[in-house]
């Protein structure tokens, strides 16, 4: 109450405000939240810090230019520290309504603190809409004449209304052509239905026999359309590379391996354990063939019949070497002693030179070499 006194007034003037009302306007601090129920979508809107408690909230949905229908809702109120209120309003919408590309939900609220009603909307095409399709593409290696299948997997979308199209992008023109099951291509679509996360899945694939002329350098594109998308989403294989079949690659590698290894070499043939023929033994035989007068150390007495076994054992791993042939390591010292000891007579005609290596190889490859002792007895 306000009272005013003045000499001109016979009595003071009073003015009263009447009963005061404290008001606080609702605030929207969080965006509309969406969750999934059983065959329905649950929309939730929270309004905070308003006073007094009385507030009017109404839900409705739109599928075109005009309002279709009001929807029932449930409100839960909770006081806060400032003696104002917070309300959580929940509205359940049948899932089938979301198939319409123009679908949207509106929540409207009115309060004494507001001059006019306010509202929030959620469209299926809004960026905040959480269930837009996710597209994955799997591309196998392509080989000439072999069947290849490019697979796409579409997941985590709602509603169950997806359209998949396969396209082929030409190399030079860049133009894209839709594919169909026309004999060259075989398209398989497999709806997966609702998954454990209550969202939908879909598999699609295109199968064809790989061709170098038709497919090398070409792109295949999977295009997905859904009511929640402003524009279709696409994924490309990129420029494809077609290679030769695996069997042909194996033949080429085999030919390279064969040509690099001479056919007359048996590298995997085992050598008998009893065969340990030192090089010096052959030099004695070669020297004796040229000069029968060359002395042979007493420790060297291989039986005549053993030589063919030794030579055969060197050239043919399957020929056994008799157990009685075991040339000892001490023969090397005998050889060095004979070559370096001046008391051992060596004919003047014996001059071993580098060219004797061919004689050595000849002796190793001949199976009819005679023992020096046997030759002396025959003489």
The predicted-structure confidence for 290-346, as pLDDT tens digits, reads as follows: 455 545 455 555 555 444 444 444 444 444 544 544 444 444 444 344 444 444 454
CATH architecture of the domain with residue range 33-123: Sandwich (2.60)
Q: Which CATH class is domain 134-243?
A: mainly beta
What pLDDT score was predicted for residue 312?
45
What pLDDT score was predicted for residue 249?
53
- The residue with tokens 């809409």 is 129
What pLDDT score was predicted for residue 293?
52
Residues 6+ apart with CB under 8 A from 79: 85, 86
Instruction: Extract long-range pairs of 73-79: CB within 8 Å, 24+ residues apart.
Output: 73/107, 77/53
What pLDDT score was predicted for residue 45?
97
What pLDDT score was predicted for residue 161?
92
Low-confidence ranges of the chain (pLDDT < 70): 65, 247-379
What pLDDT score was predicted for residue 158?
94
Phi, psi (degrees; rounded to nearest 5) at 15 = -135, 135
Instruction: Extract long-range pairs of 323-326: CB within 8 Å, 24+ residues apart.
Output: 323/274, 325/274, 325/275, 326/274, 326/276
pLDDT tens sequence across 74-84: 999 999 888 89
Half-sphere exposure of 303 (CA within 13 A, CB side): 9
Same fold: 33-123 with 134-243: yes
Task: Provide the 8-state DSSP code for 29.
Answer: -
What pLDDT score was predicted for residue 135?
97
Report how far Cα 249 is from the mean position of its chain's Cα atoms.
22
- The domain limits of the chain are 33-123, 134-243, 279-373
Phi, psi (degrees; rounded to nearest 5) at 31 = -70, 165
């Amino acid at each position: 109450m306000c009272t005013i006194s003045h000499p001109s007034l016979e009595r003071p003037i009073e003015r009263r405000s009447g009963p005061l009302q404290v008001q606080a306007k609702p605030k929207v601090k969080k965006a509309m939240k969406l969750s999934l129920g059983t065959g329905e979508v649950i929309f939730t809107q929270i309004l905070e810090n308003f006073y007094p408690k009385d507030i009017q909230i109404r839900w409705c949905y739109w599928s075109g230019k005009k309002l279709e229908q009001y929807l029932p809702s449930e409100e839960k109120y909770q006081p806060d520290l400032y003696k104002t209120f917070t309300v959580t309003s929940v509205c359940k919408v049948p899932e089938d309504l979301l198939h319409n590309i123009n679908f949207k939900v509106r929540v409207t609220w009115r309060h004494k603190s507001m001059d006019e009603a306010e509202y929030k909307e959620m469209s299926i095409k809004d960026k905040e809409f959480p269930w837009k399709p996710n597209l994955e593409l799997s591309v196998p290696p392509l080989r000439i004449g072999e069947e290849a299948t490019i697979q796409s997997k579409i997941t985590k979308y709602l509603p169950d209304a997806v359209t998949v199209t396969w396209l082929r992008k030409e190399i030079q023109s860049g133009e894209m052509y839709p594919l169909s099951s026309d004999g060259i291509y075989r398209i398989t679509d497999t709806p997966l239905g609702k998954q454990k996360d209550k969202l939908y899945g879909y598999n699609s694939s295109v199968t064809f026999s790989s061709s170098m002329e038709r497919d090398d350098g070409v792109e295949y594109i999977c295009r997905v359309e859904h009511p929640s998308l402003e524009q279709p989403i696409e994924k490309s294989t990129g420029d494809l590379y077609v290679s030769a079949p695996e069997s042909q690659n194996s033949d080429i590698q085999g030919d390279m391996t064969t040509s690099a290894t001479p056919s007359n070499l048996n590298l995997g043939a085992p050598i008998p354990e009893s065969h340990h023929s030192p090089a010096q033994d052959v030099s004695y035989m070669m020297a004796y063939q040229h000069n029968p007068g060359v002395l042979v150390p007493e420790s060297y007495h291989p039986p005549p019949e053993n030589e063919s076994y030794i030579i055969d054992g060197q050239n043919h791993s399957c020929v056994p070497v008799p157990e009685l042939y075991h040339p000892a390591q001490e023969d090397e010292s005998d050889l060095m002693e004979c070559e370096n000891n001046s008391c051992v007579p060596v004919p003047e005609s014996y001059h071993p030179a580098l060219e004797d290596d061919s004689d050595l190889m000849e002796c190793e490859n001949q199976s009819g070499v005679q023992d020096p002792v046997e030759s002396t007895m025959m003489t």
